[in-house]
Structure 1
């Protein structure tokens, strides 16, 4: 009789066989990882942000290492929705057979709506993740996610244009994450994803200028995990919809902390760029840690804090 701990989670109506998925922007469309491990072990796969038109992104350099993490100012580089639908999703289906969450980003509520309508009905796509939190773009991004009213409006616009569950990805660069989460819930969101990167700065002492071409960049990695846990916990207690926890996750214990803080599922971000086996290693280790800690299912520890 199999007495292994139960890692299954219900994410807005979709059952995942485990709560672990890669964060948008750290896994591309799976092509770079397919030779490292069987992608089917992932709970779900979140694709890189797609915009209506192709974007080159920000000028180089736009990646920098820092203590306990990394900084990036990619600027939503992507080939645009047409390429995504005609090339990227079909290629992904050839190497991955599980649930796909499509991440979208726009410069206006109307653009978010068009993107949602374009993706609606695509095979394997089980949900949309709506990026209103990118700290590295001039138009929209975190500016949208910092305003409860705009966050609600974008949520409503996306919901009007899709039959898919909608997860709003929130920025941590706000004073009250709970108010943003509640605004998204009022707009009809089926879940919340948080957090995205912190707006940050690193300086080259010899050059006397920022190390990235854009003055500020997004900080991610282990350094942000304690703050991410706090924000996930605040959002969990503020809304009655699922929360996906993101920020500094690199091992099974990090996952369990996020679940205890209130997350239904988690996303692994920067750690994928350090070690491409991070996700499968976590998925392998998680039931062992659950057994050691006397945890029979993730449901029993969710939101205990």
Structure 2
């Protein structure tokens, strides 16, 4: 069960996906976080973000749509409020970061380099719910390359690049990240989706379009992992609709080295721990 993921020693290959577990503390009363392979935090940005106006979550058949918009307290408050708790954990902590410019990614990385608890950086170039940066970065191989290089230059910890499936050929983006020095790839972020309220005739989400997650996207995620695993030599972390250990096994068959559990955490706070237990 124990693995070495690009230099990160993990007791098992199961993590929680960014944005579905807060900064860990929110779930600490409901499950034993130390049974996870690693904890991936909700995205942190340089400045605080309020996120998008409500409604910003709605259920769909076999999944959910969200347009949270990277709501977070900003790096300064994160360091004061989240890092002290994260230091108490006995598992690797991976910080997910996002910026509106290449320079912001680099600055965040430099700040986090000073924190010994940080065992990895997950670079979010794939959020579909923000006006600037976000998914636009992840659709451009050149921008992904520049962001990856800037983060790699700033930190000694392994750098993991999280990709969007909302592209024509995800392997081109994965190859660009690898060539720029990425130590691993996370695939995938949410799939663009939309749903209408038939009573009002309006979209269910404030921004109309949102990110679809959950079992509905699992076949897409498995396909992306399979394609990426054949295109690059660095490890691939599979994420998208994993609810059970059998779901996780499908990703391993596709070539994933590790997996992340996301939407399932909203249904069961111990979902990721149960997936890990089922892999023994």
Aligned length: 280
Corresponding residue for residue 267 of structure 2:
274
1:38 Cα deviation (Å)? 1.4
Task: Give distance in 2, aligned partners of 1:208 and 1:13.
Answer: 51
Q: 1:119 and 2:112 equivalent?
A: yes
1:89 Cα deviation (Å)? 1.2
1:203 Cα deviation (Å)? 0.3
1:285 Cα deviation (Å)? 1.6
Match of 1:236 among 207, 229, 248: 229
Match of 2:157 among 164, 178, 197: 164
Alignment gaps of 5+ in structure 1: 1-6, 288-305
**Alignment RMSD, CA only?**
0.8
Q: 1:22 and 2:2 equivalent?
A: no
**Mean CA deviation greater in 83-92 or 100-109:** 83-92
1:97 Cα deviation (Å)? 2.1
TM-score by length of 2: 0.98
Task: Give distance in 2, aligned partners of 1:261 and 1:182.
Answer: 17
Alignment gaps of 5+ in structure 2: none
1:201-212 matched pairs, under 5 angstroms: 201-212=194-205
Say if 1:97 and 1:124, in contact at 8 Å, map to a contact too.
Answer: no
Say if 2:225 and 2:256, in contact at 8 Å, map to a contact too.
Answer: yes
Corresponding residue for residue 54 of structure 2:
60
Say if 2:86 and 2:117, in contact at 8 Å, map to a contact too.
Answer: no
Corresponding residue for residue 65 of structure 2:
71
Give the greater-gyration-radius structure (CA). 1
Say if 2:45 and 2:108, in contact at 8 Å, map to a contact too.
Answer: yes
Task: Give distance in 1, aligned partners of 2:164 and 2:277.
Answer: 30
Q: 1:186 and 2:175 equivalent?
A: no
Query: Hey, which bits of structure 1, 4+ residues long, moved more than 2 A?
Result: 91-94
Task: Give distance in 1, aligned partners of 2:31 and 2:53.
Answer: 32
TM-score by length of 1: 0.90
Q: 1:49 and 2:43 equivalent?
A: yes
Match of 1:85 among 61, 65, 79: 79
